[in-house]
Every structure is written in C-alpha cells, then in structure tokens.
Amino acid sequence: MACEVKTTCPYCGVGCGVIARVDDEGSVSVKGDPEHPANFGRLCSKGSALAETLDLDGRLLHPEIGGRRAGWDEALNLVARRFAETIAEHGPDSVAFYVSGQLLTEDYYVANKLMKGFIGSANIDTNSRLCMSSSVAGHRRAFGSDTVPGAYEDLELADLVVLTGSNLAWCHPVLYQRLAAAKASRPEMKVVVIDPRRTMTADIADMHLALAPDSDVALFNGLFAHLAVSGAVDQNYISAHTRGFAEAFAAVSALDLAELSALTGLSQAQLRDFFRLFETTEKVVTCYSQGVNQSASGTDKVNAIINCHLATGRIGRPGMGPFSLTGQPNAMGGREVGGLANMLAAHLDIEKSVHRDLVRRFWGAPALAGKPGLKAVDMFRAVADGRIKALWIMATNPVVSMPDADAVEAAIRACPFVVVSDILRETDTARHAHVLLPSLGWGEKDGTVTNSERRISRQRAFLDAPGEARPDWWQLAEVGRRMGFSQAFAHASPAEVFAEHAALSGFENDGRRDFDIGAHAAIDKAAYDDLKPFQWPQPRGTQPRERRFFAEGGFYHADGRASFVAVDASVSRRANDTYPYTLNTGRVRDHWHTMTRTGKSARLSAHIAEPFAEIHPRDAEKLAVADADLMRIESPYGRAIVRALITERQAEGSLFVPMHWNDQFASKGRIDALVPPVTDPVSGQPASKNVAVKATRF
Ligand code: SF4
C-alpha cells in the first residue's frame, strides 16, 4: 500500500529532512521535507538520488561463517563465544570494535555500552576519528565540553562567513545553497574562502585565500594578534568569561606580516585585507571542516580559530561563532553516546573518575573501562602486531578509507577473528571477515541521527527488512545477552535504547553538563515514532527550543570559563626532493565515502566517472602529462593510478585526488593507500591533506 514517511538523509552532516514515498507498486521516490529546519525542502544531488540506491544488488541477506550461509543463532553464538574466550585468555583490551558515523545513535549507544561498560575496555573507535575528532578535541580544550555553539541560521544572519578547509558547495551542498541564497538576497554579506584549491565554493567568495597547506594556525594566530593590537578585542567578554588570553597573545604577538606571508604563502595585502574585514565585521561565522581537522595540527587549528572568536566575544549570538561542520550523517550522535575511544557516553569524560562512577552506576556496569582505548590508527596497529585478536567492524570500509590502507588490509587479513556487519556482501573489508552479519540499510532501519547544528532527527523505516538482515543495535544487544549481560541488553526496540540514552544524559545532570535530552527519558514507542527534529539540549520538563551556547559565558570547565589555547604557528612542509608534490585528498560532489551506495546510481556516477588528480598546468607540462592521461602517484606507503585533470584551480606543486574510489570501481584508485599513518598528537585524527608524493605519466 502506498505510504509517505518523513526521514533523514544518510549522507552528510547537514542532516536534511527527506520525504520518502512508496507507491502501490513498491517504487520509491524522495523529495526534500519542507518542514525540516536543516533544509526546508532542499536536497542535493546525492539526497535526491537516494531512491536509485535501494536495490538489493550485492546485498548481504543472511549471516555467513567462513563463506557459508549460517543462521543468526549460530553466528551470534560464535561471535559471543570468540569474544568471551579472547577476553578470558588475553584480557578485555585484546578485543575492539571499529564502528561508523553511518550508525544510528541507538546502534552506537549499544556498541559503546557493551564495550566500555561490560567488556571493560574502551577499544571502540569510529571512522568519525577521520572526520572531526580534532574539532572535538579543540572544543574540549576551549569550552570544557564538545559543544557546537551555533546553528545553521547563523550562516544566513552573518555579515561575514569565513569558510576554512571546507568545500561547502560539494561536501555540505544544502548548507551551501542556504548560504548562497542569503548572499544573493543580501549582496553586502561577505564570504571568504580559505583553501589551497580554488574549489567550487570559492566561486561565491569575495575573497579566496589560497594558503599553503597546513598554515591555518599561522593565519589565525596572525589574525588573533591583529585583533589584539588593533583594539578589536572585547575586554568585557574576555574578563568575565575566559582565561589564558595573555599567554595566548604572548605566543602570537611577535608574528609580523612578512613572516606570516612567508608561512602562509599569502601576500601581505591579502593578509591585511582579511584581518581588516574580520576586525570590522561584528557578525562573523567561521566554518571549518576536514581541511582543518585532517591534519597533524588539526586541534591547534581549531583552537586558533576559536581564540579569535573568544577574543572578540563573537560566539553564541545570532550570526556569530566558530562552527565545526561534521562530515558524516551521525558523527555528532556518535559523540553524544561516547563512540570515540577517549570519551564516555553522554559527553562524559572517561578520564574523570566522577564521570566514570556516574556511568557505572547508571548502567550497573560490572567492568567500566578505566582509561581511554585505542584510537583508529593505533587500533589497526594493535591489530597488526597481534595485541588485538578479535575485531568487530560495523558500517564502514577501513580497507579503503583508513590511511596506510594496504597495511590496514594486511592487519585485518591476519587478525584471528574478524566480524563485519554491513549491508553489502562484497566490500574490500568484508572479504576478510570470518563472520558476516547482514545489517539494515537506509529506508529499512529506525533510529535517530544528530546533524552539525546539534539537531536530532529520526531516520524512519519505510521498506521491509530484506532477507534476514537485522538492525546493528539488535546484533550488539544479542551478543551482549549471549555474553551473560541479559538484563543490561534487554532492549526490545530502538525507542527503548533512545529512552535509556536520554535518561543517562539527564542523570544527575544539574546543568553543569552540556548534553542533556532528559526530556525524552520516558519516551514511548508512539512518541518516538512521532519525534520531530529538535536541537539539544532539552532537559527534563522542558519543551524543545532553539538555543545557542556561550553568549553569556557558561562554559563547562570547572571555573565556568573558556580557555584560550596558545598554539604554535610553525608549518610542517612534508614535500621533499624525492616526493616533491603535496597530495590533498577529499570528496567530489556526487559520491559518498567508498561509493558502496552512491556507486549504484548511474546518474551520480555520470558526474565524475573515474578517479582523477587535479594538477596545475605548469606541473602537467613539467611531467609531460596531457589532460586525461593516466598518472602514477606514489608515496612511501603505496601508489595509485588516476587520470590527470589539468586545472588552474589547483595550486602549483600540489595535487588533489578524491578518496572515494576503491579497487572494485577503478584499478589502483584507492588513494588512502598513499596516506601515511601520521596523526594529530591531541586528537589522533589522521593527516590526509598534506601527503608528500611523487607523480609521473603512466
Ligand atoms: Fe543529504 Fe547532505 Fe545532500 Fe542534505 S546536503 S541531501 S544531508 S547529502
């Protein structure tokens, strides 16, 4: 029977509302939800092609053990037994979960509870480590919490929007549409794009600053010094709500324009113009994404940006604030349930005994993890050297997406016991699994996701579960029950999981913790089914309301103040005589992650059919490469073969290659095989934007 269901797009962190319609013949069509506050009816190319990705081609439809079909009981018993045996013999830190920002919050919650509360290890990390963990670390250093202060509306209300390390037009297209519409209706609004490449986003910019790779800290430290010297800082805000201004200023005060120009590759005139524009515009939003986060200095970059907003008091007011744009549809939900190895559930801190005690009591946990677990890169190193002997991977494809991807593949292949939960049978990762568990995909599963502006929305099922596929939260709860934790994993529905998650967020929360959705602690199935998109926080006894954080201080460090962080402006140049080009990886407009879904749509694949390397004309001439020639790109870690795309949008001396293609879609297109396992020392996020490579005509 025909039906219409309101749900949420499963791709990027904008989190657009979608209306899915199933007609009498079972055909699905989608359109944007005009009532959803993230998109007001808009969809981008990926969202509008969702119905084209729902066929069952390639789907994993029943559990498998060692390549043969198995029943759920047999498969789940085996997973529970092998994890229990490994833990009994080698301890809880000998097992790990590697999960995903594609999981729904309910899946994430149960995974985190099982690993951190009942197995007794914090070895659960997520592909969100590759996406926004530097933003999390920067927020926590500055605010004492992982809080995004603003809302999408701020991009429309601002008089200056600074986009740094963000190709908004391709990576958050609906937010870009909102910004472009606002600028069209208020042409006096200014947009500055800071990116080594002249991306499509730069086409609406009043100023494009093609800074040198990884010189963002230098640029924002220079801005901070300029604001302080020119008297543009807000002394009242600094005195009332912050600490550490003098130390942070001391770290930047000696920088002069000539030095900044040398570090950033920008002219002194460009620097002066940008600094002056920021100084003289009250309503400024600075948006940052993977170009900031995916760096060995990602956390410092985030704090350099936040320093400028704290110094001017431009935070938490309409049209003002630093704004981290998450890549994945539920990176934020994962943060809320503690899906990162260094966090606890409900934005609590695993390194604080008082927080561990709170979670232990709430869960009745017998073995709450006492220390942070292994972050993604270290986790796969531990798999490689045999410290981790049982690994459960859910909804992600690390053999394509992790840095040093060949080494990750070798590690997974050699691991004694690997479980993969996925919707597809043949991914680069799934082929190394001992046990395959069929999961539900978009349109089949029920749960919640949180977008970049802290808005929680429902994903709703409108299709029957195919074959024997089951939700991820159910698989985890079943294994928890079979490991002897029946009472703690007795959830019968995602609504029950969400209610428990909400109750924990409000448990002994007197307002000193940012994440509180205690109003939903007693939600029943009917209310859950009807849940409208809402922004957190929503404490017990309150109605949903839009709010911003920190306009009047109220930070989450113990003294209630924000912390300026003194950050180092030095720039590491990785290119060298042997590997003279700087490789920058990223996304294209019409594909998502490793293309396991968007690759099914002929329309999306028509936009860009093959992996490519953007190369500047002078570099192409030096290499005797013509447009569409094949190029070999190599680093000490791996090599890829891609087509040349000659363009002046690319800075001389650097190459851009998208991260989507795997060896299924294009032979040797797996660019993450070239990325070294270099990480930010604070966040553990890999540096995927500044890789030294050499390039030749193939
Ligand atoms: Fe989906 Fe993001 Fe496009 Fe919105 S902008 S439709 S969330 S991919």
- Ligand 1 centre to CA of 409 (Å) is 30
Taking the centre of ligand 1 as the mean of its atom positions, its distance from the CA of residue 617, in whole angstroms, is: 33
* Amino acid occupying residue 147: T
Percent above pLDDT 90 for the chain: 86
- Which pLDDT band, with edges at 50, 70 and 90, does 1 fall under? confident
Who wins on pLDDT, 663 or 628?
A: 628
Ligand 1 pocket by Cβ (under 6 Å): 9, 11-12, 14-16, 39, 43-44, 46-47, 172-174
Q: Give CA–CA dist 362/490, Å, rounded.
A: 15
* Ligand 1: residue whose CA is nearest its atom 3: 44
Q: What tens digit of pLDDT does each residue of 487-515 get?
A: 999 999 999 999 999 999 999 999 889 99
Q: What is the DSSP string of 155-224?
A: HHH-SEEEEES--HHHHSHHHHHHHHHHHHH-TT-EEEEE-SS--GGGGG-SEEE-PPTT-HHHHHHHHH
Check residue 42 and give left, alpha or beta (phi > 0: left; psi -120 to 50: alpha): beta
Average pLDDT over residues 365-391: 97
Q: Is 693 exposed, middle or buried (0-12, 13-18, 19+ CB in 10 A)?
A: buried
Q: What is the 3-state secondary structure of 370-382?
A: CCCCCCHHHHHHH
pLDDT exceeds 90 at position 320? yes
Q: What is the pTM of this model?
A: 0.95
pLDDT band at 599 (very low <50, low <70, confident <90, very high): confident
pLDDT confidence of residue 596 = 77
The CA 597 to ligand 1 mean position distance, Å, reads: 14
pLDDT attached to residue 553: 97
> Can you tell me the distance from the alpha carbon of 7 to that of 20, in angstroms, rounded to the nearest whole number?
7
Helix (H) or strand (E) holding 592: none
Atom of ligand 1 at shortest distance to CA of 45? 3
The minimum-distance atom of ligand 1 relative to the CA of 175 is 5
* Interval 35-82: pLDDT, tens: 999 999 999 999 999 999 999 999 999 999 999 999 999 999 999 999
Residue 2's pLDDT is 86
CA 10 to centroid of ligand 1, rounded, Å: 8
- Residue 606's pLDDT is 80
- Does residue 686 have a pLDDT over 60? yes
Instruction: Give pLDDT, residue 601.
Output: 82
Residues 97-143 have pLDDT tens digits of 999 999 999 999 999 999 999 999 999 999 999 989 999 999 999 99
**With bands split at pLDDT 50, 70 and 90, how would you rate the model's confidence at 664?**
low
DSSP per position, 483-541: TT-TGGG---SHHHHHHHHHHHHHTT--S-SS---GGGTT--HHHHHTPPPEESP--TT
Q: Which of 14-23, 49-58, 217-226, 453-462 has the lowest mean pLDDT?
A: 49-58
* Mutate-to-test residue for ligand 1 from 39, 40, 102, 590, highest number of ligand atoms within 8 A of CB: 39
Q: What residue owns the CA closest to ligand 1's atom 6?
A: 47
Question: What digits encode the pLDDT tens for the residues 532-588?
Answer: 999 999 999 999 988 899 999 999 999 999 999 999 888 777 889 999 999 998 888
pLDDT at 603 over 90: no
Report how far residue 573's alpha carbon sits from residue 119's, in angstroms, rounded to the nearest whole number: 42
pLDDT at 571: 77
**pLDDT at site 458:** 98
Predicted confidence at residue 575, as pLDDT, reads 85
> Ranked by mean pLDDT, which of 396-400, 482-486, 684-688 comes out on top?
482-486
pLDDT at 663: 66
ipTM higher than threshold 0.95: yes
Residue 254 pLDDT exceeds 90: no
User: pLDDT tens for residues 137-183?
Assistant: 999 999 999 999 999 999 999 999 999 999 999 999 999 999 999 99
> What pLDDT score does 520 carry?
98
Q: What's the confidence (pLDDT) of residue 570?
A: 82
Q: How far is the CA of 458 from the centre of ligand 1 (A)?
A: 15
- Between the CA of 32 and the centroid of ligand 1 the distance, in Å, is 10
Query: Average pLDDT for residues 309-334, to the nearest whole number?
Result: 93
Query: Average of pLDDT values for 623-650?
Result: 94
Judge contact between 632 and 696, C-beta under 8 A: yes
